[in-house]
């Protein structure tokens, strides 16, 4: 895979270093396709990430959020492969770490494991100060009083 150099971007813009960092992370993560995953928008402010984790038990998986980074890791317990004689081994069952950049005010609601899929639900929760508000417009004589005049 070809590496993209973002140095010219750093020289010509200010304050976009986080965006360039996200792009670098995205291009690095694209090189590994394991484990496969889907990102779905389930509502206007809700999302779900489904990760194919066939062969992993719940205690072998970890979901962690730190700042704006969601990290999913899978650590496979040591199998006694010496006792097994595989004719074909197609299930990867290898350790992994998958990272997702999460936007501001997006929180992880829950995570569940069923049928070999780890589903992580996320929701955007804007603080009240950032939500759109409608401002009431008053009409009448009160707004037209000049300085120093008293209302009758």
Indicate whether 14 and 85 sit together in one domain: no
In the structure, what pLDDT confidence band is assigned to residue 114 with cuts at 50, 70 and 90?
very high
Give the separation between CA 79 and CA 68, rounded to whole angstroms. Answer: 34
Return the pLDDT at 81.
66
Say if residues 35 and 56 touch (Cβ distance below 8 Å).
no
Residue 11 has pLDDT above 60, yes or no: yes
pLDDT band at 127 (very low <50, low <70, confident <90, very high): confident
Please check whether residue 76 is in contact with residue 62, taking contact to mean a CB–CB distance below 8 angstroms. no
Asked whether residue 112 falls in the same domain as residue 45, the answer is yes
My answer on whether 15 and 60 are in the same domain is: no
Distance in angstroms (rounded) separating the CA atoms of residues 99 and 117 = 17
Quick one: pLDDT band at residue 37, thresholds 50, 70, 90? Answer: very high
More confidently predicted of 9 and 75 = 75
Q: Is residue 152 part of a domain?
A: no
Domain range enclosing 65: 34-127
Query: Structural domain tally of the chain?
Result: 2
- Give the Cα-Cα-Cα angle 150, 151, 152 (nearest 5 degrees): 115
On whether the pTM is more than 0.85, the answer is: no
66 and 110 together in one domain: yes
- The CATH code of the domain that includes 68 is 2.60.40.790
Is 107 found in the same domain as 84? Answer: yes
Whether residues 3 and 50 fall in one domain? no
Closest by Cα among 125, 98, 138 to 43: 125
- Residue 102 near residue 69, CB atoms below 8 Å: yes
In percent, how much of the chain has pLDDT > 90? Answer: 43
Kind of pairing, strands 46-52 and 37-43?
Answer: antiparallel
User: Sorting pLDDT into bands at 50, 70 and 90, what band is 117?
Assistant: very high
The pLDDT tens digits for 70-85 are 999 999 877 666 777 8
């Amino acid at each position: 895979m070809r590496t993209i150099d973002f140095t010219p971007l750093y020289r010509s813009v200010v304050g976009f270093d986080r965006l360039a960092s996200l792009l670098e992370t995205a291009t690095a993560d694209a090189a590994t396709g394991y484990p496969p995953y889907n990102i779905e928008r389930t509502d206007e402010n809700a999302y779900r990430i489904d990760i194919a984790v066939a062969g992993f038990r719940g205690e072998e998986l970890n979901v962690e959020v730190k700042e704006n980074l969601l990290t999913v890791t899978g650590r496979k317990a040591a199998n006694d492969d010496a006792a097994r004689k595989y004719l074909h081994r197609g299930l990867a069952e290898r350790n992994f770490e998958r990272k997702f950049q999460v936007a501001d005010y997006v929180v992880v609601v829950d995570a569940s494991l069923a049928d070999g899929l780890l589903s992580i639900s996320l929701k955007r929760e804007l603080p009240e100060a950032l939500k759109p508000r409608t401002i009431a417009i008053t009409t009448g004589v009160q707004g037209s009083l000049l300085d120093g005049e008293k209302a009758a």
